[in-house]
Amino acid sequence: MSLKTRIYRLLRSTQSVSQAVVVLTAFTFLSKVLGFVRDVFVAMFYGTSANLDAFIASQTPPGLISGIFAGSLATIFIPLFIRYREEKDEEYARKYATTMVYAIAIILSIFSILVAIFAHQVMRIFVPGFSEKELAKAAFFLRIISVTAVFNGMITLFNGILQAKKRFLAYSAMSLSSNIIVITALVMLNKSLGIMAYVTGYVVGLGSITAGLMLMSRRYVKPKNIDWHHPGVHESLLLILPLMISSTVALINVTIDRIFASGLPTGSISALNYAVRVRSIPISLFGASVYNAVYPAIATAVAKENYNSLSNTVRRAISLLAFVMIPITLSLIPFSSWVVRVLFQRGAFTAHSTAMTSSAVIFYAVGMFFATVNVILVRIYYSMKDTKHPVIYAVIAISGNILFNFLLVKSMKHNGLALSTSINAMIFFTLAYLGLRKKGIKLNLIDVKYVSLTLLASVITLISIYAVRYYFGNGMLLTTFEVLGAVGVYLVISEIFGTFKLKAVIARIRREKP
């Protein structure tokens, strides 16, 4: 058996739930590592330049439309496809899937063509503050990458088909290959093509995922299986509208911030983009792990209307988030510049780029804890089959984001946009919490004693950092030791306060009862 055949069979193999968890966890970690490597090269080659600003801005229109479709389809397509396979038969489900593939491909292709034709006018809407030269660059990039809206839509559908058939490995492996393609394009082509190396890698990378998933799902792209009168198409259209509204709300914040940032000094859009990358590290590593772990318990408690259990589950989850997020938030005040320098400062990413990015990181960090808690609150609503109120709260919060952008951008520049995003997270938290109370669900969200002791331990750690800096300075090497020392100090103080039990952690690692 040839190597090509072995790889093909491996990618088409099915995985159990436990195997899927292992596969997805491993590949998610690898994807984060490769994504970081990609960002390091992007920072080294392009820094916070006007070219990078223009390219990032050009990703907004196709990203917005494909994000709307992708978010909606991911929620609708998989359960409908599985239901049709179980209640009807494979052929019925195949016709539904094939029809949806062609329908979405046609819709997104029309969008891509229109965007490419009217690229200049479209970019004027999304980045009104750009000069004519910057606008022309963004429009040029948009014409090239407009096809990525089609790629992203197809990736969502094909991945949904494979997941429904318990084939999780293909998408995970191809996502890694996409990052490898981008990194290779940056390394091999940057000297000759400049920013076009990044553009090329970006388009080819997404195209490679689409082609690979299409190959894995080739039974679902045969035109003979199209049935425009299939009941599933009509059902999907009825379900997709409210979800599209929800997905739109989630993406508007990014679009709004880029619109405001387009009128700021060169590099503002890039700096905000890098700052978001830094902010997402603790959220994706710690926040996602917590709320994915507690979601089944939340759903079970809601289904049984056991609100005491719900309150206890949420309080424990928020306490765990507080233990991690509060010290990270406070530590980013003295360490944000060090973090950005370690991650990005090399090549075209200068000390000025570090200063712009690190200041934005601080203001994004202010709302980091609330952003993670909000995910838990939203999942409570979803467990109650209430999708309306989270959308309403998000719309109100976005309105507040626009208002605070207006108020802060003039005096604080791009930092005002970052702070406005954090305020937006706090507004949503307040509305979502009060909304649950109106429903009669009085959650005891915060363990006041635990969070207070965590905050005190974090403050003591922060004071110790400033004391060390006062006497010994803050050079790059010294700061590295300060970071490691701060973690140790925080854990020791937490052990003393009783918010962290090392023996219990070791016992759990050994799978022994504490």
Per-residue confidence band for 397, with pLDDT thresholds at 50, 70 and 90: confident
Mean pLDDT lowest among 127-136, 187-196, 389-398:
389-398
Per-residue confidence band for 15, with pLDDT thresholds at 50, 70 and 90: very low
pLDDT for the residue 378: 82
In a domain, 151, yes or no: yes
Q: What is the DSSP letter of 130?
A: S
In a domain, 17, yes or no: yes
If you compute the radius of gyration of the chain from its CA atoms, what whole number of angstroms results?
Answer: 24
Beta-strand (E) ranges in 103-250? Answer: none
Find tokens 């006018």 and name the residue: 121
Please give the single-letter amino acid code of residue 310: L
The C-alpha atoms of residue 179 and residue 35 are separated, in whole angstroms, by: 7
Interior CA angle at 8 toward 4 and 9, to 5°? 120
**Mean of pLDDT values over 114-121:** 94
Q: 430-446 pLDDT, tens per residue?
A: 999 898 888 777 777 77
Are 212 and 293 in a shared domain?
no
Are 429 and 462 in a shared domain?
no
Query: Last residue of some domain: 248, 274, 296?
Result: 248
**Mean of pLDDT values over 320-326:** 86
Are 442 and 454 in a shared domain?
no
Q: Residue 79, Cβ neighbours under 10 Å: how many?
A: 12
Query: Last residue of some domain: 446, 470, 499?
Result: 446
Its pTM surpasses 0.85: no
| Residue 77 scores a pLDDT above 80 | no
3-state SS record for 307-360: HHHHHHHHHHHHHHHHHHHHHHHHHHHHHHHHHHHHHHCCCCCCHHHHHHHHHH
Q: Residue 375, Cβ neighbours under 10 Å: how many?
A: 16
Domain carrying residue 373: 264-446
Closest by CA to 401, choosing from 422, 372, 378, is 422
Are 433 and 494 in a shared domain?
no
In a domain, 255, yes or no: no
**Mean of pLDDT values over 136-152:** 94
Q: What are phi and psi of 225, to 5 degrees?
A: -90, 0
In what helix (H) or strand (E) does residue 258 lie, and over which residues does it extend? helix 231-261
In a domain, 253, yes or no: no
Closest by CA to 171, choosing from 185, 181, 160, is 160
In a domain, 254, yes or no: no
Contacts of residue 346, defined as CB under 8 A and 6 or more positions apart, other chains included, come to 40, 43, 44
In what helix (H) or strand (E) does residue 42 lie, and over which residues does it extend? helix 17-46
Q: Are the beta carbons of 359 and 321 closer than 8 angstroms?
A: no
Q: Are the beta carbons of 416 and 409 closer than 8 angstroms?
A: yes
In a domain, 256, yes or no: no
In a domain, 401, yes or no: yes
Are 405 and 503 in a shared domain?
no
Query: Last residue of some domain: 213, 248, 283?
Result: 248
Mean pLDDT lowest among 13-17, 31-35, 458-462:
13-17
Q: 19-69 pLDDT, tens per residue?
A: 554 556 567 677 778 888 898 899 999 998 889 999 999 998 898 887 777
Closest by CA to 215, choosing from 186, 177, 248, is 177
Q: Residue 153, Cβ neighbours under 10 Å: how many?
A: 27
